[in-house]
Amino acid sequence: MKVIHTVSALNLALQPFRCEGVEIGFVPTMGALHEGHATLIRKSIEENGCTVVSLFVNPTQFNNSEDLRLYPRTPEEDRQLLQELGVEILFAPSVEEVYPEPDRRVFDFGLLDKVMEGRFRPGHFNGVAQVVSRLFSFVQPDRAYFGEKDFQQLAIVREMTRRLQIPVEIVGVPIVREPSGLAMSSRNQRLSLQEREQASQIYRMLDKSLGLTGEHLPRELAEWVVGEINNVPGLRVEYYEIVDGDSLRPIASWDESDRPVGCAAVYCGGVRLIDNISYR
């Protein structure tokens, strides 16, 4: 595996693959890798002749400086895992390499970046669009892989790719969960053993709600989920909304959407966790 820190070196490393017509897969990450990331990487390796993984904690998508400071960083463990998985190229640039000048682009994705995460984390998705578009321009992949845990982010990336006419296939990969049901996340590293047990109740309540769609309208069911999760000591719901899986518009009845999805953000102690579940 080649470990590369600059865009110029990345281009040199990818040139032989491009000359031979080898398809390039790309998995952008912020490090602190876990089995969820490994699932994305394995899928890329399966579907492409060369896989590039980036490790870059992007400062422009954090609207909370403390969250940026506390974000888990495990570079040596990450490098070892990528080596074991068989990744061809690890791209680990500095902030100065990715942003030699401040990125002042402002993206407007309509409703997609205004609801849920966009409402509670202003500027977050603008930072995501900035960094992902820049990474795409560096790597120029044929396919890029994103986890469906970040459901709204995946919708934003798809829309950004369409608007900027970037020739890359966006591949969404289902959520990977711990045995308890807790969605795998780098932030889980910040949870104590007690908090992990508390956090596992998030998915248990989402899963339980699947059997209640015949009894409740979407808004009523969302209120039920919020109440059940908030009853768990140590958990506090920031939002739970049931939306159309394509437009992210909240739905008032189940027949308004062919793909209703429930999306949650929940604080477990001081750690903010997100999850989602499909009602179809």
Instruction: Return the active site residues.
Output: 37
Amino acid letter, residue 29: T
Measured between alpha carbons, how far is 187 from 140 in angstroms, rounded to an integer? 29
DSSP 21-72: T--EEEEEE-S---HHHHHHHHHHHHH-SEEEEEE---GGG-S-HHHHHHS-
**Structure tokens that stand for 142 in this block:** 């044929």
Amino acid letter, residue 144: A
Backbone torsions φ then ψ of 134, nearest 5 degrees: -70, -45
Q: Is 244 helix (H, G, I), strand (E, B) or coil?
A: strand
Measured between alpha carbons, how far is 157 from 170 in angstroms, rounded to an integer? 8
Neighbours of 250 (CB within 10 A): 18
**Structure tokens that stand for 195 in this block:** 């908090």
| Residue in the structure block whose two tokens are 């994705």 | 109
* Helix orientation angle between 75-85 and 35-47, rounded to the nearest 10 degrees: 40
